[in-house]
Amino acid sequence: GENVEQHPSTLSVQEGDSAVIKCTYSDSASNYFPWYKQELGKRPQLIIDIRSNVGEKKDQRIAVTLNKTAKHFSLHITETQPEDSAVYFCAASNAGGYSTLTFGKGTMLLVSP
Amino acid sequence: GAVVSQHPSRVICKSGTSVKIECRSLDFQATTMFWYRQFPKQSLMLMATSNEGSKATYEQGVEKDKFLINHASLTLSTLTVTSAHPEDSSFYICSARLGANQPQHFGDGTRLSIL
C-alpha cells in the first residue's frame, strides 16, 4: 500500500518568513495530493490540492509543487502570519473507485509575531 | 458547498456503553464516506470506507464487530462503537466526497471519552 512520509514534524518561523513542508510517497500510481490544515480540536480543512498532470499550483500565499519522478511534493507558504499556525497534513491517493487517502504524520507550524 | 456535519461533538459515557456517531453530507450526495480515528498529536488513521447500499470496507486491524458502520442513504453514514472501553477513547472524524476523483471534506469530529 501507499506510504507517505512528511517532514519536518515541527517548524517554527517568524511572521513574514516563508515555510516549506515536504512529503514523499511510495506508490507511483498515486495521482492526487491534497494538503489539509488542522487547528487544535477542529476539523482538517482542505487548503490546496494538486493532481499528477500538473507540476505546480498556487493560491495566493500558498503553493504546492509536485515531482512525479522523485515522488515528492511540497507545500510552500509565503509571508506567514500567526493565524497560519496549525498542524498541516499532506496526503496521497490513487483516485478512482473507492480510493482512500493516506496521510502523512503532520507538521506543526508555529508562526511567531 | 461541500458541508459535512457530524454529531455529537462530544460524548462521555461509562464503559460497556454503545455510542452512535452520525455523519451527514448537507449539500451534496456522497456515495462514499470515510471514518478516521485520531489520537492526540497524531495523524488521521483510516478505520473504514463506508459505501452507500453495501458493506463497509475495514482497514486491517479494525474490528468490524466493534465498529459498526451503516451507510443507509447518500447523505448519512453512522459509526457505532459497541461496548466501548477506555481504550476506545479518541477523536473520531468522518469525511465525505462527491466522487472518486474529488477532495474529501471533513466533519467537525466527535471526541469520545469512555470512563
Is pLDDT of A29 > 70? yes
Determine, for residues A43 and B108 on separate chains, whether the beta-carbon distance falls below 8 Å. Answer: yes
Kindly give, in sequence order, each residue whose CB lies less than 8 Å from that of residue B60, ignoring residues fewer than 6 positions away: none
Is pLDDT of A99 > 50? yes
Determine, for residues B100 and A98 on separate chains, whether the beta-carbon distance falls below 8 Å. Answer: yes
pLDDT-derived band at B13, boundaries 50, 70, 90: very high
Which residue blocks in chain B are alpha helix, DSSP H? none
- The span from the CA of A85 to the CA of A111, in Å, is 5
Determine, for residues A103 and B43 on separate chains, whether the beta-carbon distance falls below 8 Å. Answer: yes
Is pLDDT of A98 > 60? no
Integer angstrom CA distances of residue B56 from A61, A81, B16, B72: 39, 41, 24, 11
**A53-57, A83-87, B12-16: the lowest-pLDDT one:** A53-57
- Alpha-carbon dihedral of residues A68, A94, A109, B91, nearest 10 degrees? -170
Within 7-46 of B, beta carbons closer than 8 Å to A belong to 32, 34, 42-44, 46
CA distance B108 to chain A (A): 5
- Whether B62 and chain A come into contact, CB under 8 Å, resolves to no
Determine, for residues A104 and B43 on separate chains, whether the beta-carbon distance falls below 8 Å. Answer: yes
- Whether B100 and chain A come into contact, CB under 8 Å, resolves to yes
Beta-strand (E) ranges in B17-89? 19-25, 32-38, 45-51, 57-58, 67-73, 76-81
Of the candidates B103, B107, B1, the residue with the CA atom closest to the CA atom of residue A48: B103
Determine, for residues B43 and A101 on separate chains, whether the beta-carbon distance falls below 8 Å. Answer: no
Is pLDDT of B4 > 70? yes
pLDDT digits (tens, 9 = 90+) for B32-89: 899 999 998 899 999 999 888 788 999 999 999 999 998 888 899 999 999 999 999 9
- Whether A100 and chain B come into contact, CB under 8 Å, resolves to yes
pLDDT mean over A71-99: 89
